[in-house]
Amino acid sequence: MKKTKKLIVGSLIAITLGTVGVLAAGGFEHRWGHQGQMAGMIAERMLKHATKELDLTEVQQQNLEVLQQKVLSLRSEGREAKRETRKQVMMQLSQPTLDQEQVMNLVRERLQMAEQKAPEVIAALAVFSDSLTAEQKEIIKSRIENRKNHHGEHHGQNQGGHPAHR
């Protein structure tokens, strides 16, 4: 897979996840590290907050719920795949010689999964986005920008980047 294609697929997923996270979080810091029922409870709370903050209609709320479920599903599948990939890489590292082809196949599998899931997540994002008013979109864009600025300042990115990359 070309480097450009990998970058595009990764960027699309990151943008989608970031948009849903910011939108659903409503500007509050939430940790998605919880598993199972806790992640669902946090997602529900975030959905209620976004519904109130954006004054979503019933249809818009349903569209957001569909998007949220797609993202949660993708996240769950990604976590499982990450664990399996890590396990396989650790096995490879314990071998006298690293099987580069095997490790490359692991990377390809992860990229293929992301590429297969991206269209349905992007489609759900489009349905939700298309159902929003111009004012609601401005609120979301403002939240994303505020969150980006806060995140950048918090991690030193506005003062010359991450220390390791200087």
Asked if the structure places residue 19 within a domain, the reply is yes
Asked if the structure places residue 140 within a domain, the reply is yes
Asked if the structure places residue 129 within a domain, the reply is yes
Question: For the chain, what is the mean pLDDT?
Answer: 76
pLDDT of residue 166: 42
Whether pLDDT at 165 is above 50:
no
The phi, psi pair for 93, rounded to 5°, reads -70, -20
pLDDT of residue 145: 87
Q: Quote the number of domains for the chain.
A: 1
Task: Provide DSSP, 81-118.
Answer: HHHHHHHHHHHHHTSSS--HHHHHHHHHHHHHHHHHHH
- pLDDT, tens digit (0-9, with 9 covering 90-100), for 60-96: 999 999 998 888 888 888 888 888 888 988 998 999 9
Asked if the structure places residue 14 within a domain, the reply is yes
C-alpha 159/C-alpha 78 separation (Å) is: 32
Whether pLDDT at 26 is above 50:
no
C-alpha 64/C-alpha 61 separation (Å) is: 5
Taking CB atoms within 8 Å and a gap of at least 24, the contacts of 62-69 are 63/124, 63/127, 63/128, 63/131, 64/23, 64/24, 64/128, 66/124, 66/127, 66/128, 67/20, 67/121, 67/124, 67/125, 67/127, 67/128, 68/20, 68/24, 68/43
Position with higher pLDDT, 42 vs 86: 86
pLDDT of residue 144: 85
- What residues make up the domain containing 98? 3-28+55-147
Asked if the structure places residue 102 within a domain, the reply is yes
Asked if the structure places residue 40 within a domain, the reply is no
Whether pLDDT at 125 is above 60:
yes
Whether pLDDT at 123 is above 90:
yes
Asked if the structure places residue 128 within a domain, the reply is yes
Confidence of residue 47 (pLDDT cuts 50, 70, 90): confident
Asked if the structure places residue 38 within a domain, the reply is no
